[in-house]
Amino acid sequence: MDKILVEMQEIFRSVFDQPDMVITCESNSDNVENWDSLTHINLISAISQTYNVRFALGELEDLKNVGDLLELLQRKLDAK
């Protein structure tokens, strides 16, 4: 999962347009500046395109932080 976190770091930097951004598994919309609903949609879209996966709305509703997102992504990648 560490590899995915490193890759995800680059996606976050691109979507948030912050080249020095650092995310952790605990990062979420409450502690990341400018993480609003539009940015969230852009983020999920970028992740979907990068990893060629699709997320159901119900799957996304339960996510609390980046760690949860990474676990969901890993399950999807393992299922391929």
Q: Which domains does the chain have, with CATH numbers?
A: 2-79 (1.10.1200.10)
Is the model's pLDDT at 49 over the cut of 90? yes
For 1-80, where are the alpha helices, taking DSSP H only? 2-16, 37-51, 57-61, 66-79
Of residues 80, 79, 66, 76, the one with CA closest to residue 2:
66
Full-model pTM: 0.90
Please name the residue that has the structure tokens 């879209």: 45
**Residue 80 — pLDDT band, cuts 50, 70, 90?**
confident
| pLDDT tens per residue, range 5-33 | 999 999 999 999 999 999 999 999 999 99
- Helical pair 37-51 and 66-79, crossing angle rounded to 10 deg: 30
Count the Cβ atoms, other than its own, within 10 Å of residue 23.
21
